[in-house]
Amino acid sequence: MPSAVAGPEIERLIQLLARLPGLGPRSARRAALHLIKKREALMAPLTAALETAMEKIEVCKTCGNIDTQNPCTVCTDQRRDPSIIVVVADVADLWALERAHAVNGRYHVLGGTLSPLDGVGPQDLSIDALISRAHDAEVKEIILALNATVDGQTTAHYITELLGEAGVKVTRLAHGVPVGGELDYLDEGTLAAAIKQRTLF
């Protein structure tokens, strides 16, 4: 049995880093070594940033975004169109849409998607809060920006049924050929969706 090459504190650091998405045991070891080598330039500021994040970051009570203020920066931005609410599964999706500068509305983070196999039901998501927001007089459109997976589409259909009495337009993201995509490399489901949702040229 190999002997330990580092003390328990370093092993603990590696174990914690390995829990991050995209980091396996090897990557975590490399990251830990890099942090240790750059203690003053990297580890100290990272430690301070993590402590600040622990103290100040909270979930927005309106939309579910994370920020250092509540309501969040997005919800308090007066330049945004209050008539549009973009529904996303999690904060990463909100950030992706913001990077693309795709929409200038408000958001609603569900906190996941319906998944009976994983035990995630409507009560586990912030669907009730969304329905309540949709009944606000200034809201005219709900954009369902959910993944094109079985769970994502199940969630979209469930929400659409609940929004029937809200008097708002419910739309979803288009599915099909991505910009720059070549037909030969696309799967059959994507091609079928692209043909079904074809538009005038």
What is the pLDDT, as a whole number, of residue 1? Answer: 45
- Could you tell me the pTM of the whole model? 0.82
Residue range 30-50: mean pLDDT, rounded = 93
What are residue 171's DSSP bridge partners? 143
Q: Long-range contacts for 59-68 (Cβ within 8 Å, ≥24 apart)?
A: 62/133, 63/106, 63/107, 63/108, 63/109, 64/91, 64/107, 64/108, 64/109, 64/110, 64/111, 64/126, 64/129, 65/91, 65/94, 65/107, 65/109, 66/91
Helix, strand counts (H, E) of the chain = 8, 6
pLDDT over 80 at 4, yes or no: no
Distance CA(170)–CA(156), nearest Å, equals 10
Distance CA(76)–CA(64), nearest Å, equals 13
Please count the CA atoms within 13 angstroms of the CA of 137 that sit on its side-chain side.
0
What is the pLDDT, as a whole number, of residue 113? Answer: 96
* pLDDT tens readout for residues 130-155: 999 999 999 999 999 999 889 999 99
Closest residue by Cα to residue 6 from 24, 33, 39: 33
Side chain identity, residue 126: S
Rounded (to 5) percent helix, strand, coil in the chain: 50, 15, 40
